[in-house]
Amino acid sequence: MKNPGPLLSAPGIPATGTAGWRSRRSLFRIAVSAGTAALLPGCATPERGPAVPLGQVAKASVLGLPNERFFPLLEVDTLGAEVMATLQRQRQTRGLSPDAPPPELQLLSVSGGGENGAFGAGLLCGWSDQGTRPVFDLVTGVSTGALTAPFAYLGSSYDPQLRAVYTELTPSKVLIKRNILAAVFDDALNDNSPLFNTISRYLNDDMLAAIAKAYNEGRLLLVGTTDLDAGQPVIWNVGAIASSGHPRALDTVRRILLASAAIPVAFPPTMFDVTVDGKPYQEMHVDGGAFAQAFLYPATMTRQRRDRMRNGQQVAPATAYVIRNGRLDNEWAAMERSTMDIAERAVSTMIMVSGYNDVIRMYNTTRNDGINFRLAYIGSDFDKKLPEPFDQDFMRALFDYGYQRARRGYDWATKPPLA
């Protein structure tokens, strides 16, 4: 999680392609207009509670659960302990004796990518129909990947809901545009309450109970956000929250998914009320892609596994599947010599490079840990252009692109291109 990425990697701002530049052109021009409008008097920015004091970040709690979330740049021992406890629950669920060989682990990481999340959704559904999709022991998600992750975690029985999310989505189910003055003096250019309503429609009490059951059986669902006050990535333990029985568990999980997809400037941050030593504070969380567009686990967390490998001791066999909801190369374009075009192209390039670096980081980590690596990404053979954000025809075509390749048996890459 130590690979900072750009802030433009969530739904609403396409990650790559000509259409993505057009969307960013609108964003930049609104920002320029906002700079002028900011000179106008008479409006106040939204109020918020006091931020968590410096040095107290890791002590802040939302629901009072000791394992509700982790701060990987501050320490990894608590996350490591959670993983070990999860594996122990898994052994008990499977009825394995203490001296039985460790079961093979199946890991899945789903990246950000806005509308491109339709690719990963199609791939997962096609994989189910192909008949070889495993039950994942660990699922992680960021941004649009955070919206996919709970369905992937719960397995093929949730494919109809996953398909609906990415083939029936429209702009009205994601955002409400604000006028310029409201955007300038508020906290974002758009209101994302429709997205929260969309999340809530699918993530209901039954789905929360299913997530809790999977967690209690020994599997993990982790979602990444960015604590903007602290400038820290946060890994939320969604399964532990779901199984807590806390009256605010469902709302909290919904808000975590909303926060992970809250691109700064485009969408409002998600505010979390927290306590530190009994005192109330408030945190501001945005898109997890501000730090990483995808993650599996902190590279420093598996020292024990690497030590065992060096000593010739047995470790659990594992395979890591990484779904990159985007291309791994930048599309060529003849650039105009203008400020807007140059800025748009620079942002597009930063997003592409950040996503590629995340893939390289995960590849190197799994290779050092003796874990099989499998990668899927959008190839250059998909050439349909996005005419406007959340265009249904585009998303359905991309869903089908991923679905058909997985249905035939996806040709997973065993290492990133050029690696």
State which H helix or E strand residue 376 sits in: strand 372-377
Query: With 70 as the cut, is the pLDDT of residue 38 above it?
Result: no
Q: SS3 letters for 165-205?
A: HHHCCCHHHCCEECCHHHHHHCCCCEECHHHHHHHHHHCCH
Q: Which residues face 405 on adjacent strands?
A: none
d(CA 396, CA 398): 5
Query: With 90 as the cut, is the pLDDT of residue 332 above it?
Result: no
Exposed e or buried b per residue across 169-184, where buried means at least 16 C-beta atoms within 10 angstroms of its C-beta: bebeebbeebeeeebb
Query: With 60 as the cut, is the pLDDT of residue 22 above it?
Result: no
Contact predicate 312/306, CB 8 Å = no
Per-residue pLDDT reduced to its tens digit, 236-269: 999 999 999 999 999 999 999 999 999 888 899 9
Strand ranges (E), 189-340: 190-191, 220-227, 232-237, 270-276, 279-287, 318-324
Per-residue pLDDT reduced to its tens digit, 350-386: 888 889 999 999 999 999 999 999 999 999 999 999 9
Q: How confident is the model at residue 43 (pLDDT cuts 50, 70, 90)?
A: low
pLDDT at 234: 98
Query: Which residue type does 171 have?
Result: P
Q: Which residues face 403 on adjacent strands?
A: none
Q: How confident is the model at residue 10 (pLDDT cuts 50, 70, 90)?
A: very low
